[in-house]
Every structure is written in C-alpha cells, then in structure tokens.
C-alpha cells in the first residue's frame, strides 16, 4: 500500500517535519521565556565597616511569565560632576530586611552569592551590599592592626578581667593613652575612604535566564538611582569613625562586648531613574 506522504513534494515534507518538531518542542517547553523587571529603590546609603566604605542597595525584582534564575549581580557607582570617577564595587553579600523590635527593619544577609530563583509572577525585595573592590583589603588590614594593638594593650595593662571595675582616675589615664593611637588609626582609615561630595549614579545590573526555557541564554536587567553626597562627608565620617573606635576600645578594655554603631551616611536628593 502506498504511503500517505507519497507524491508530496520534498519541500512539503520538510515543512510538515518542521511543524511537527515545533509542536513537540512547544509541548515540552514554552515558546516565550520569562523576564525580569528590576527597580533599584531610593533606599540607598553608605556604611563604613572594617572593609572600608560599603554601599547598601535595596532593589525590587519581579519575575514575569515564569520563574527566573538570577545568575549574577553587579553594582556600578559613578561620580558624574566635576572630575568624573568610577568606583569598582564587588557585591559581597545578599540579604533582606527583617522585622525587629525597633520601628525600622534590620538588615539580614543570608548569602555571599547572588544566585537565586524567583518564582513566576512574584516580587522579591533584595538587599545588595557592595564594597570598594580596590580598597577593601587595605581597610581590613588597618582594622586587624587596630584589633591586635588593642589586644596587646589590654594584656599589658591587665584589663578586661571578670568583675574588674576600672576606677575613674585609671579610666581617664587609659583614655589619655589610647586617644593618640585611635587618632593614628583614624588617619589610616580615612586614607582608604573614597567617597567625596558631589553628584553620583548607582546602577544595579542583574544577569538572569529562564531555567525552563528550551534555549539556554542569559539576559540582563538594569536599574539606576541618582543622588548627591554632601561636601562635608569626609569630616562626618572622620568624627563618626573616631567615636566608634573610642567606644569599641573602651568597651573591650572594660571586658564588655562592644556594641558600636557603624558610621553611616544617607545621600540626599535621591531619584529613581
């Protein structure tokens, strides 16, 4: 018995084959990949940690038409007025805001990797912490040197013993001794800080793909904010760092667990672009 396709032109046979193939692929996978909407919010600020200046960037991610696999995240900071300058940043922690006993939420970092899966048609708020790539190592070295000096001073003076109370006169003597050293470390730390007064843009770029799509390719989503940093930012950080180091040293030498507020600066005139 002759085949049902007998007598059909070769082109028609190929067309029939391709249609069947596409139908089979569509049955196994969707034809339109998922996409990611990204919004970097105005809630952006700087905080000086033991690694130097760090940028806290809060973003909202929305997955459309299915789940999205986030593969990488990059932060780009630029000074756009006067002498333009770029500040290479490394995203070192990824986290979120969590409820606390205070009226304001706390920050919780759950990973050092931006790799994540966002369910389809859902939103997720993510906090990215970026540190100055070229200066973090030196800032860490300065911080570690201060810790070593403080531990050595504490041991030499026999301080921090359980239930040992430092008398007022001795406390004044200790403050007079550690203040010059604190000023020295403040100067070293200030030499690492790069942010100065001016106009800036901060851009978040996320590379992602659809994990269920039959073609494996990566796409990119980006969002930016613009803001202004006050001209006295260096002086503010200098005062805050000195206060933080003195409080840290005093608590450590007194045998207490230091609870120090890290120097923080929130830029002004923040605009979501």
pLDDT in tens, 219-235: 999 999 999 999 999 99
Residue 90 belongs to a domain: yes
Q: Is 245 helix (H, G, I), strand (E, B) or coil?
A: helix
- pLDDT above 70: residue 27: no
Residue 141 belongs to a domain: no
Tell me the pTM. 0.82
pLDDT in tens, 110-155: 999 999 999 999 999 999 999 999 999 999 999 999 999 998 988 8
Residue 8 belongs to a domain: no
H/E element, 190: helix 168-190
Contact 144, 103 (CB under 8 A): no
Contact 218, 207 (CB under 8 A): yes
pLDDT confidence band for 175 (50 / 70 / 90): confident
Residue 250 belongs to a domain: no
| Amino acid 68: pLDDT | 96
Residue 66 belongs to a domain: yes
| Amino acid 270: pLDDT | 95
Higher-confidence residue: 245 or 165? 245
Higher-confidence residue: 173 or 89? 89
Residue 123 belongs to a domain: yes
Please, what is the average pLDDT of the chain? 87
- pLDDT above 70: residue 163: no
| Amino acid 170: pLDDT | 75
Contact 90, 127 (CB under 8 A): no
| Amino acid 166: pLDDT | 63
pLDDT confidence band for 13 (50 / 70 / 90): low
Q: What is the CATH number of the domain that holds 204?
A: 2.60.40
Cβ count within 10 A of residue 223: 20
H/E element, 173: helix 168-190
Task: Quote the CA–CA distance of 265 and 96 in Å, as a whole number.
Answer: 19
Residue 104 belongs to a domain: yes
Contact 61, 41 (CB under 8 A): no
User: Which structure tokens are listed for 11?
Assistant: 């082109």
H/E element, 211: none
Distances (CA, A) of 199 to 80, 193, 227, 268: 6, 17, 6, 10
- pLDDT above 50: residue 190: yes
Residue 225 belongs to a domain: yes
| Amino acid 1: pLDDT | 47
Give the chain's domain count. 1
The domain of 216 spans: 35-135+195-231+262-272
| Amino acid 186: pLDDT | 93
- pLDDT above 50: residue 210: yes
| Amino acid 160: pLDDT | 63
């Amino acid at each position: 018995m002759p085949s049902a396709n007998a007598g059909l032109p070769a082109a028609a046979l190929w067309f029939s084959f391709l249609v069947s193939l596409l139908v089979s692929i569509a049955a196994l996978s969707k034809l339109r990949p998922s996409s990611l909407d990204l919004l970097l919010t105005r809630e952006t600020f700087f905080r000086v940690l033991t690694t130097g200046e760090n940028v806290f960037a809060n973003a909202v991610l929305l997955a459309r038409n299915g789940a999205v696999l986030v593969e990488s995240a990059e932060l780009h900071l630029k000074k756009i007025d006067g002498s333009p300058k770029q500040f290479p940043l490394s995203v070192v922690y990824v986290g979120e805001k969590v409820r606390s006993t205070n009226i304001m939420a706390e920050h919780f970092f759950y990973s050092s990797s931006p790799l994540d899966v966002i369910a389809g048609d859902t939103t997720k708020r993510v906090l990215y912490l970026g540190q100055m790539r070229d200066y973090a190592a030196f800032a860490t070295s300065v911080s570690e040197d201060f810790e070593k000096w403080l531990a050595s001073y504490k041991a030499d003076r026999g301080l921090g013993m359980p239930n040992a109370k430092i008398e007022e006169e001795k406390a004044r003597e200790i403050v007079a001794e550690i203040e010059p050293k604190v000023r020295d470390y403040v100067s070293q730390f200030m030499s690492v800080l790069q942010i100065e007064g001016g106009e800036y843009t901060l851009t978040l770029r996320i590379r992602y793909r659809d994990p269920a799509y039959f073609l494996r390719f990566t796409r990119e989503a980006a969002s930016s904010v613009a803001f202004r940093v006050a001209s006295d930012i260096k002086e503010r950080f200098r005062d805050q760092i000195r206060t933080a180091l003195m409080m840290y040293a005093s608590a450590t030498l007194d045998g207490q667990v230091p609870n120090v507020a890290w120097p923080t600066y929130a830029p002004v005139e923040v605009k979501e672009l």
